[in-house]
Structures are given as C-alpha cells and as structure tokens.
Amino acid sequence: MATGYFTHSACRRHDMGVGHPECPERLSAIDDHLLAQGLDALLVHGEPPEATVDQLDRAHDRGHVLGLIDRLQQLQATGEQRYMDPDTLAMPGTLQAALRAAGAAVAATDAVIQGKLDNAFCAVRPPGHHATRHEAMGFCFFNNVAVGVRHALDVHRLERVAVVDFDVHHGNGTEDILCDDERVLMVSFFQHPLFPYTGTHPLGSNMVNVPLMPRSDGALARAAVTDKWLPALEAFRPEMIFISAGFDAHRDDELGGLRLLEADYEWITRQVVAVADRWSKGRIVSCLEGGYNLQALARSVAAHLRVLTGAAG
C-alpha cells in the first residue's frame, strides 16, 4: 500500500507567536515521532505546489480569494502582521504556507486518483476546516479539504465524494462550502458547545452532524461512527473519501473537552479505510486540522498513518 506524505517547509514559516497553540512545532513533533517509530520509511514523500486561484475559487468566492491573497501579499511586502479574527494572525509567512497547504490537498488528490498512490496524508498548516466560502477564521485561511473535494469533482469528474471530519471543533467552513452540493456527503462528530458553536442544525441534507457533550469518551465517538456515519457512507457509496484529520479530541488536548485516545483514532481510521476499500478503490486523502498537545498529536497521527500504510495489520 503506497501512502503519500505531503508537506512543505513553508508551512512552518506561518508563526502566530509564542504560546499560540497552532504553532510550527506541530509539524516538527509529527515528523520526529514518525522517524522514531520507523513509519517515515513507509511513506512516499511529496512536496506540494502552491494552489492556484482557479483551484481555490472552486471552494471559495473568487473575490474573497483575490482579496485575501492581496492582503497577505501586502503583509509579505511590509513585514507587518494582521489579525483575521481574535485567534487568527496573518504575517509575512502566511501566504506561502496557506497556498502550499491547499496545494497539498490538490496534489494528493491528483496522485491518488491517478493511481500513483493508494492514499495520502497532508501534514500541513494552517488548517482549513473553519474557512468558509467568504471568510478566513479559526486558525484557517483556505479550506484545504474543500479545495481537494471540489478538485476531485470538477476536474477529475468524480460523481460522489465523502468528507469525514473528526476534529473536536465543528467543520463549519467545510459545511458552508459543501452543504449545497449533492455530489458530497459530509459526516462529522464534534464537541458541543464549543467554538464555532455551529453544527447542531445541519445546513443541508448531505450533512450528518453528531454533536458530543463535553467529556464524551472514545466509546461515545465510536457509537457515533457506527450508528450515524457508517450507514450514511454505505448508502452514499463514495468514489473517494477526504478526511479532516483533527486530533484535538484527544483527552490530553486542552483546546477541547473530549476524551479520545490513540486507539480510537486507529479504530476510526480502520472504519473509513474499510468503506474506502468497498466503494472508493481505497482512495483517501487526509489533511491535518487540529491537535495542539504536541505529544498526543504526534502519537495520534502515527496511529492514523499505521492504518493508512497497512502497518497496523
């Protein structure tokens, strides 16, 4: 099983400052742990290009894309910083990081659909699932997964694509972008109440949202997958699956209040892989979202990748 690993040094140059949880060290922690565990040797490494405006505006309003790029280019030229919201800071390194992160989703999609890879993981930042059609927010600038999904649908002409989101926060941006697209099914669980305080009332019939109360553990998350996700995925029969892989539902992560463990991420990934094997020719593209306790993040990504690479048996 060939698993791609897409990342870029530019993703480390977006730095929102000392103490900010969405930090460059997240990627270093993942890389170091994969090397220590011997998993790095099982991965096919790829360096993503920058996403183009045409690729971005399949998911976002074109005026928003051009305006955001212009603002980020100004910061690149002046060396200044600018808050997009109270938690999301842009600086000179942000534009290249955001373009490479979205570009990774596109490159991984191409490689998987073309049969060069069985599946792929994009170790990128900034994350993307809070970025809406018209707005950057919640640490996110462009919606990496939504850009990949629309690339699969509009460029490769797939007819049915599923999105799986297990971040502790609701993927409001992905839902905003994809809720009106009958070619897409999105399934997710998330803590509620918690930022962005959405998701309890799905925006479309193609959304399967499962809110979980604070302190919900892996057993409750697995029940959500078994009872809600899997029947919907089986009925939809996706030709490809994208994963918004947020690992901040881990019990050691202070940005959320769920209590998942590495074994839960491994189990969830197994369920998704099984669906992909039945209906999608095994085609999966997974993109990093949250996960802010560095040790828990690294261990959880490794558990995820053990399944994607087939190393978990």
Catalytic residue among 8, 130, 151, 250: 130
Question: For 94-216, where are the E strands, in sequence order?
Answer: 119-122, 161-165, 184-191, 207-212
> Would you call 157 exposed, middle or buried from its count of C-beta atoms within 10 A (0-12, 13-18, 19+)?
exposed
Pairing of strands 82-85, 88-90: antiparallel
Pairing of strands 88-90, 3-6: unpaired
Burial 102-133 (b: 16+ CB within 10 A, else e): bbbbbbbbbbbbeeebbbbbbbbbbbbbbbbe
Contacts of 259 (CB under 8 A, 6+ apart): 215, 216, 217, 218, 249, 251
Bridge partners for 165 per DSSP: 188, 244
Residue 120 structure tokens:
């792929």
φ/ψ of 40, rounded to 5, equals -55, -35
Q: Is 192 a catalytic residue?
A: no
Would you please indicate which residues are annotated as catalytic (active-site) residues?
A: 130
